[in-house]
Amino acid sequence: NFGDEEDIRTEVRSLISSLPSDTNIQGKKLCNYQGCWYYYKNLQAVLDYQKHFKPLDSDIIVTSYPKSGTTWLKALTVALLHRSEDGLQSHPLTSDSPHGLVPFLEMDLYHKSSTPDLTKLSSSPRLFSTHMPLHTLREPLKDSPCKIVYVCRNVKDVLVSLWHFRSKIGKKEAERSGLESIIESFCKGVDNYGPIWDHVLSYWKGSLEDPKHVLFMRYEDLKEEPYAQVMRLAEFLDCPFTEQEIRTGSVEKISDLCSLSSLSNLDINKTGISWNNVDHSIFFRKGEVDDWKNHLTTEMANKIDMIMDEKFQGSGLKM
Ligand code: A3P
Q: Name the closest-CA residue to atom 2, ligand 1.
A: 161
Q: How far is the CA of 259 from the centre of ligand 1 (A)?
A: 10
Q: How far is the CA of 73 from the centre of ligand 1 (A)?
A: 10
Q: How far is the CA of 176 from the centre of ligand 1 (A)?
A: 21
Q: Is the CB of 68 under 6 A from ligand 1?
A: yes
Contacts of 247 (CB under 8 A, 6+ apart): none
User: Per-residue confidence at 81, pLDDT binned at 50, 70, 90?
Assistant: very high
pTM, entire model: 0.96
Q: Is the CB of 295 under 6 A from ligand 1?
A: no
Concerning whether 135 is annotated as a catalytic residue, the answer is no
Is the confidence at residue 190, as pLDDT, over 70? Answer: yes
Walk across the sheet containing 36-39 and list its strands: 21-23, 29-33, 36-39
From 118, 6, 10, select the one nearest 56 (Cα to Cα): 118
- The atom of ligand 1 lying closest to the CA of 291 is 3
Q: Does the predicted interface ipTM exceed a cut of 0.95?
A: yes
Query: pLDDT tens digits, residue range 43-64?
Result: 999 999 999 999 999 999 999 9
Give the pLDDT score at 189.
Answer: 95
Q: Which of 131, 164, 199, 213 is catalytic?
A: 131
Query: pLDDT tens digits, residue range 250-287?
Result: 999 999 999 999 999 999 999 888 877 888 999 999 99
Cα distance between residue 246 and residue 234, in whole Å: 12
- The atom of ligand 1 lying closest to the CA of 161 is 2
Q: How far is the CA of 243 from the centre of ligand 1 (A)?
A: 31
Percentage of the chain exceeding pLDDT 90: 85
- Mean pLDDT estimate for the chain: 94
Query: 45: burial class by Cβ within 10 Å (0-12, 13-18, 19+)?
Result: buried
Q: Is the CB of 269 under 6 A from ligand 1?
A: no
Q: Which amino acid is at 32?
A: N
Cα distance between residue 115 and residue 241, in whole Å: 37
Q: How far is the CA of 179 from the centre of ligand 1 (A)?
A: 18
Is the confidence at residue 198, as pLDDT, over 90? Answer: yes
SS (H, E, C) the chain: CCCCCCCCCHHHHHHHHCCCEEECCCCCEEEEECCEEEEHHHHHHHHHHHHHCCCCCCCEEEEECCCCCHHHHHHHHHHHHCCCCCCCCCCHHHHCCHHHHCCEHHHHHHHHCCCCCHHHCCCCCCEEEECCCHHHHHCCCCCCCCEEEEEECCHHHHHHHHHHHHHHHCCCCCCHHHHHHHHHHHHHCCCCCCCHHHHHHHHHHHHHHCCCCEEEEEHHHHHHCHHHHHHHHHHHCCCCCCHHHHHCCHHHHHHHHCCHHHHHCCHHHHHCECCCCCEHHHHCCCCCCCHHHHCCCHHHHHHHHHHHHHHHCCCCCCC
Q: Is the CB of 276 under 6 A from ligand 1?
A: no
Q: Do 151 and 275 meet the contact criterion of CB atoms below 8 Å apart?
A: no
Higher pLDDT among residues 3 and 162, named by residue: 162
Give the pLDDT score at 270.
Answer: 93
- The atom of ligand 1 lying closest to the CA of 262 is 23
Query: pLDDT tens digits, residue range 205-249?
Result: 999 999 999 999 999 999 999 999 999 999 999 999 999 999 999
Candidate from 67, 266, 280, 288 with most ligand 1 atoms within 8 A of CB, to mutate: 67
Q: How far is the CA of 271 from the centre of ligand 1 (A)?
A: 17
Q: Is the CB of 70 under 6 A from ligand 1?
A: yes
